[in-house]
Chains A and B, each alone.
Chain A
Amino acid sequence: MSESLFVDVAFWLFGGGSVVAAWLVFRTDSMVRAAYWLLASFAGVGVVMVVLNARFLGLVLVLMMAGEMTIMAVFMVMFMMNPAGLNPMTMVHQHRQAKIAGVVAFAGLALVGVVAEFPDRPADPEGEATAELGRELLGDSMLIFETAGVTLLATMIGSIAIASKRGRFGDAEDGSAPPPLDPQGDHS
């Protein structure tokens, strides 16, 4: 009995924590904090997965999201004008549209969550989740995962090739900007 109590407590604690962290993503002014609140939210979901015996998936989620949220933090700092939130300027715009969109999305998802019939197939708690996952990946779902994997690899290699020093328009050291579309204009 205590084990299922532990599972329940963990689920509500980390599940609720994920929701709170997700809300904090949008409340904070600092871009780095926003990225890492999102990581905390994902980590909460990862813990829930671990508690539900999908340990491999939970740990892989944390592994991937740590790297990805760091890259997201780097990009947000790169693009946003006020990345640490120190400048007293408002960071949000279009309040009315955002509120309406948020309420509509929440209502839709909540409706789906409450009304839909989720399948009732309890998994074997003693099962070897990792081994079963492996068999699924290389068995029935092999086509999907191999295609996705090769596509991702091609994307990575392509982006590295595009970002490489010796670009199409010459060496980056010499300033390899493409000619502007507008003869007098800037390079945008």
Chain B
Amino acid sequence: MLLVGATLGLGAYAVAVLDGVGARVAAGGRLRLMDIAAGPLRRAALLARTSRSTTERPDLQAWALAPAIVAGMAAAAVAAVPFGPGIAVADVDDGIVLFGAAMAVVMVGVYLHGWSANSPMPLVGGYRFIALALSYEMPLALVLIAAALPAESLAVGAIVESQHDLWNVVRQPLGLPLYLVAGTGLAFWGPLNGADGPDLAGGTSAEVSGPALLAWELARRFVLVAVAVVGAAVFLGGWQGPILPGPAWMALKTLALLAVLVWAGHRLARVRLERFVVVAWAVLIPLALVDVFVSGALAL
């Protein structure tokens, strides 16, 4: 549990710092490292001291539950990943399916967050997230299955060990890009930020303030970290690597993926929903199917 908590907490902090660096680089300003490092902590402290807003007749229980659901599912996903040979909270036989189930329940959490506020902008954000989430659940599931084929097991630990001679990112070139696209959408980050964008005045977070806002921001970053952790394990060979111990390699690979995701957030414009949904169904699913067929053929 401590492992999961530490991973998520440090990971969320890392995301915030990387985001600050990315923003400063993209904006062309001076990189004041002290400010960037302390910034997320200061903002968290401010949010903790701010009062909580309420709207007219919200669904209070669902509103409070939403960040808990999202964060809990991220924790469940991270729990299934081994950080070293034998170091895993719960390396179940069906780790990949656990990840898929957890990410499906994240959809429930985001929708509830948008629905509960009883306000039009958050509602639109919640519905947009459903449209996007349903579109890339299929490519996500398919590329993970493709990665599980060489391992002949659905356990994340077995998938990591099956990469001891060749990482999946090399063996299945379509896998990681598709996975990152789906992962970006799961955390509604950057180009796929339909749920919380500025055109919706903050979207599902529009009516949220104080500790609830802090919880939501943390939950969102937890999902991003979970996506990166599982991606590092399934596509980048997990804890395997020379010289350094297992957890150190996991940390490095996770940070690398987080950097890619944060960079994408600052570099790519937000997609038009309709266009992206069409692309997800008409392009990403066939690509994912190709990935599955090819890796299946190779595994036979």
Contact = CB atoms under 8 A, between A and B. Distances in A.
Contacts of B100: 59, 63
A63 B104 CA distance: 6
Contacts, number: 62
B108 A160 contact: no
B68 interface: no
A60 interface: yes
B48 interface: no
A111 to B, nearest CB: 35
**SS class, residues of chain B in contact with chain A:** helix
A74 B107 contact: no
A66 B105 contact: yes
Interface stretch (B111-119, B164-172, B184-192, B223-231): B111-119
Contacts of A67: 104, 107, 134, 137
Contacts of A86: 57, 118
Interface string B67-108: 000000000000000000000000011100110110011011
A33 B62 contact: yes
Contacts of A74: 127, 130
B236 interface: no
B253 to A, nearest CB: 25
A32 B112 contact: yes
B94 A36 contact: no
Given A32-B112, A33-B59, A70 B107 contact: yes
Contacts of B98: 59
A55 B93 contact: yes
Contacts of B111: 70, 73
A107 interface: no
A130 interface: yes
Contacts of A73: 111
A30 interface: yes
A67 B107 CA distance: 8
Interface in B274-289: 281
22 contacts: A32-B115, A55-B92, A55-B94, A56-B94, A56-B97, A56-B154, A59-B98, A62-B104, A63-B97, A63-B100, A63-B101, A66-B108, A67-B104, A67-B107, A69-B108, A71-B130, A71-B134, A74-B127, A84-B57, A128-B93, A130-B94, A130-B154
